Structure 1
Amino acid sequence: MFRSSAPHTTHLRRGLALGVTVIAAAAVLTGCASSSGGSSKLDTKAKVDLTVWSGQNDQAEKILEGLAAQYEKLHPNVKIALSPGASSTDELLQKLSASFAGGTYPDVSYTFGSWASQLERSNRTLDITKEVAKPGVKWDEFTSAARATAQPTGKKTIGFPAVVDNISLLYNKTVFDKAGLAYPTKDWTWDQFRDAAKKLTDSSTNTYGYGYSVSGSEETTWQLWPHLWQNGGDILSKNDTKAAFDSPAGVKAVSFLRDMAVTDKSVYLDQTDTKFAQLFESDHIGMITSGPWELSALKTAGTKYGVVQLPGTNGDHQTVSGPDVWTLFDHKDANRSYWSTQFTEWLTSAAQDEKFNVAIGNLPLRSSEANSPAFQAAEKALPGMDVMQANAANAKKARPTVPGYVGLSTAVGSAVSQVLQGQGTPAAALKTASSAADKALAQN
């Protein structure tokens, strides 16, 4: 599928790599011409043509094409033109921006969650708040982070969750066994984690207890958020206009990582975003915090591993998630609005999701899928998927989707990277990052 071309690129980092492209697109999104409109009265028997951009290719695209064909058989009056929409998922935002200006935008499109606020600001999205409130939709089966991403400002619901993920603690059994240490448990604290990382580190064999990115990218930034949240901190102010991570909770979070990296020297500091996972696979790192995208590579490498939820602070085991969204767009046509909503609701139902997300190795969208035969088979093929699915309950807060988050992420990533490499103090670095983040938020 398009979403991740590099083997260890995460759902959370996808979309942020656009950098300037995302920011430039945001300016385009805010001032586009309106759609010419269509039927003002709903006729559920009228013939309807829908355009869906999937953001996928290969296996995932073929599965979606099959599901679209199945839906057409169930509803003969509905025709669905489904295609990837662009040459890569990253390019969909730019494609959507251009289509808004020309009035050629689709009815439904796969979108990165990091674009959600920008898309709502385009005034092109369809508000389905009333639809998802219906008991039959079972909206509460989606994680709170996924629901919040589909409701970026809390005023409108612009779509249904498309992909959900989270990060858990992965441990290398070979490295633990060699060090004579007991495996991590779901009740671990960060102090226990730090102690184990020190004991796992062996300079004579180039083995480290933990791996962390210091590239300064979103890979660096999003790994910090669980530490921040577990210590009672927030990324943004309540009105989402100012940075809030420069706080006692933020300093404590960065100080913990700094102490592991600089004082204990138990952290492999990865400049590439990918090397730490490869070293974990080859038994040179004892622990990483990663998600379901890593499990297939571990299976291929033959790594002996285990998975538990993240260590906690005072019993708080919050994690971070990067949900993507099937975003719906408004063409001022009652029939298109109705059927695009119905199709997307059907596509994200438990029965169909098992044929898509579960089939391609993603976590299931809905909590009700946890005990399904399809997911049990997926967990058997990729051990640890069940733990990651259960860990979705710890994804309580959504990563911000405001346009200024790109600049905020860059500022935080740079600060954390510098501190973990022994440059500056956590307090000073976060203060500088907060100033840069506020400027980015103000510009957008």
Structure 2
Amino acid sequence: MQRSLSRRRLIMTAAAAAATLLPAAACAKKDGEGAGGVGYAADQPPVTIDFWYMPYGGPVQDQAVVTETEEFHKAHPNITVNPVRVPWDEALTRLSTASTSGEGPDVTVLGTTWVAGFSSIGALRPYSIEEIAAVGGEDVFAKASWSSSHLITSSDITAMPWLIDIRALFYRTDVLQQVGLDPKAAFATWDSFETTLQKIKASDVGVAPLAIGLQNNFGIIHNVAPFIWASGGDLIKDDGTKSMLAEPAAIDGVSYYQRLIGLYDDPKAMALSSSDVPRAFAEGTGAITIDNSQSVAEFASDTSRAGLKAGWSTAPMPAGKAGTFGFLGGSNLGILKTAKHPEAAFEFVRYLTGKASQQRYSVNSGLWPARTEAIEGTKLATEPAYAAFREMIPHGKMYPSVSAWIIVESIIAKDLRELWSAPGALTRDQVQAIMSKTTADIDEALQDPTNTGITP
């Protein structure tokens, strides 16, 4: 702990020194250009670096990536970026192989839940204190996002926050009007939220209360976790040594969420993955769903679909007895230890985490920037449909950055499947039995510090 605190002080001191000593030099440079004695200088020979990214969407995100590589090259003519699209379902295996073969990218996108695993096997090049200071330091990023920048037991920063996946409620405004509910009150607390679902179910509005997909288990975890936290529970201990899922508070959260699914979810939505639900919601499946900010831009661009044409909006997650919580995930940027051009790679990371690139990329792709100031002057800061996400950012929480998280997540996904396949609401004892088994499985996995779920 002392090493971690000392490193944090050094980073903060270096960042303060950079802010004090470098403003004149920074003003003379284009956005994203090198400054402060780190990175890849303009007089260095031309190089090409490979950048692996995983798609959150289709052509829109692909074009956003291309735009950033082109803008970066204008500012750094001696660095060419080769963007390589890697599907999420292939990325873990390909990165595992790349971490030992030396045939991988210079810079890669990493799911926030992967950082600890790849850090623990030594696959990532740590960012130096000077590099961290050069991007502005820890405090320029959303507080929760920095927790995924390193392995929980290490002070080495191995991944820079890039994009945030923060969830909120999407709802049909016409449905709430028909059942006579004010959105602010309807979604304020767990009690009011369930009352809202009950009223929709009992009405003749012709749509099911919820649209929650149950076919991709990891998406389900992201949806249930906020209810566990809002009940005062947790998934595992903060130090990553033990499961907390069989504790009473966690049982409260899981039982509540399972009841919502069992009683109010649309059967058509149940047969879908969470990534397919936004389209189904837009076409008229369910009155309320949970999704990230990317759907705001998509829904705003086409209001002719049945679920959108009568009106839609967003709301923060309802508060439980411990308060309001939201799952916060997303993507970080890592430089592989086997990178052929690590200084040029850092220059690209610095660019992508800079304010201008973060603003442009988030507006173009609909994803939320990790750099807090980047929403200033954009539609993310002004448009009403983004208000729920602005409100949820301070309430966002990430999973603990432990080396075994990939394994833990797999266990939760597998063991909790029984909860979502139940025909209706389960009793608390039934939920307890399932969660006790899950806890035993997780505790066994956490005993082995080499059990990362990454197979080189």
> Which TM class, normalised by the smaller chain length?
0.7 to 0.9
Root mean square deviation of aligned Cα: 3.1
**2:376 pairs with one of 358, 371, 379:** 371
Pair 1:322 & 2:329 matched = yes
What whole-Å deviation, never above 9, does each CA across 1:215-234 have from its counterpart, x for those lacking one?
47122222111111112212
Query: C-alpha offsets along residues 89-128 of structure 1, whole Å, 9 cap, x if unaligned?
Result: 4323323333333322322112222321221123131111
- Equivalent residue, structure 1, for 2:99: 100
Closer, same or farther in 2 for the Cα pair 1:220/1:416, shift >3 Å? farther
2-structure distance, mates of 1:258, 1:67 = 42
Offset of residue 351 of structure 1: 0.7
Taking structure 1 as the reference length, what is the TM-score of the superposition? Answer: 0.78
Q: Output the CA distance in 1 between the equivalents of 2:294 and 2:378.
A: 21
Secondary structure, aligned partner of 1:239: coil
> Closer, same or farther in 2 for the Cα pair 1:403/1:131, shift >3 Å?
farther
Deviation track 1:30-87 (CA, whole Å, cap 9, x = no partner) reads xxxxxxxxxxx998443262423232574434443443344344344x323412154x
User: What is aligned with 2:124?
Assistant: 125
Deviation string 1:386-414 (CA, Å, 9 cap, x unpaired) is 43133211113336562312322323531
Task: Indicate how the Cα distance of structure 1 residues 407 and 54 shifts in structure 2: closer, same or farther if over 3 A, else same.
Answer: closer
| CA distance in structure 2 between the aligned counterparts of 1:218 and 1:305, rounded to whole angstroms | 26
Distance change (3 Å), C-alpha of 1:178 and 1:204: closer
Helix, strand or coil at the partner of 1:212: coil
Query: CA offsets, 1:335-380, max 9 Å, x none?
Result: x43332232112211111122122122123322123314645xx65
Q: Helix, strand or coil: the match of 1:165?
A: strand
In the alignment, what sits opposite 1:267?
Answer: 265
Counterpart residue number, 2:289:
288
* Gap change, CA 1:350 and 1:50, over 3 Å in 2: same
Contact 1:61 1:84 in 2 (8 A): no
Output aligned runs, 1:44-443, within 5 Å: 44=41, 45-47=43-45, 49-55=47-53, 58-76=59-77, 78-84=78-84, 86=86, 88-128=87-127, 130-131=129-130, 133-134=132-133, 137-155=136-154, 156-185=156-185, 188-202=188-202, 206-215=206-215, 217-261=217-261, 265-268=263-266, 270-273=270-273, 277=278, 280-283=281-284, 285-299=286-300, 300=302, 301=305, 302-303=308-309, 304-314=311-321, 316-331=323-338, 336-373=341-378, 375=380, 380=383, 383-398=384-399, 402-418=405-421, 421-422=424-425, 425-442=430-447
* 2:342 maps to amino acid: S
- Work out the percentage of aligned pairs sharing the same amino acid: 15
Q: 1:279 to 1:342 in 2, by over 3 A?
A: closer
* AA of the residue aligned to 1:256: Y
The whole-number CA distance in structure 2 between the counterparts of 1:413 and 1:294 is: 27
Question: Is the contact between residue 159 and residue 332 of structure 2 (CA under 8 Å) also seen in structure 1?
Answer: yes
* Shift, 1:166, TM fit: 0.9
Q: Which amino acid aligns with 1:358?
A: V
Pair 1:312–1:135, CA change in 2 (3 A): farther
Structure 2: gaps spanning 5 or more residues: 1-37, 452-456
CA change 1:294–1:308 in 2 (3 A) is same
Q: Tell me, what secondary structure is at the counterpart of 2:365?
A: coil
Paired AA for residue 108 in structure 2: S
Per-residue CA deviations over 1:274-322 (Å, capped at 9, x if unaligned) read 5754554345533222222333453323341121211112472110022
Work out whether residues 221 and 416 of structure 1, in 8 Å CA contact, stay in contact via their aligned partners in 2. no
Distance 1:237 1:179, change over 3 A: same
From the superposition, tell whether residues 284 and 129 of structure 1 become closer, same or farther in structure 2 (CA, over 3 Å). Answer: same
Distance verdict in 2 for CA 1:73–1:282, change over 3 Å: closer
Residue type of the alignment partner of 1:308: A
Q: Secondary structure at the match of 2:161?
A: strand
**Cα offset for 1:133?**
4.7
Cα pair distance change 1:97/1:48, threshold 3 Å:
farther
Structure 1 letter corresponding to 2:290: T
TM-score by length of 2: 0.76
Query: CA separation in 2, counterparts of 1:43 and 1:255?
Result: 53
1:441 Cα deviation from its structure 2 partner: 4.1
| C-alpha distance in 2 between matches for 1:61 and 1:213 | 25
- Closer/same/farther in 2, CA of residues 92 and 261 from structure 1, 3 Å limit: closer
Moved more, 171-180 or 429-438: 429-438
Report deviation, 1:422: 4.2
Q: How far apart, in 2, do the equivalents of 1:83 and 1:363 lie?
A: 21
> What's the secondary structure of 2:211's corresponding residue?
strand
Query: What amino acid sits opposite 2:323 in the alignment?
Result: D
For residues 168 and 234 of structure 1, the distance between their equivalents in structure 2, rounded to whole angstroms, comes to: 19
Out of 245-254 and 122-131, give the one that drifted further.
Answer: 122-131
Distance 1:276 1:98 in 2: 32
Tell me how many residue pairs correspond in the alignment: 394
Q: Please list every run of 5 or more consecutive structure 1 residues that lacks an aligned counterpart in the other structure.
A: 1-40
Assess, with a 3 A threshold, how the Cα gap between structure 1 residues 436 and 178 changes in structure 2: closer, same or farther.
same
Q: Helix, strand or coil: the match of 2:397?
A: coil
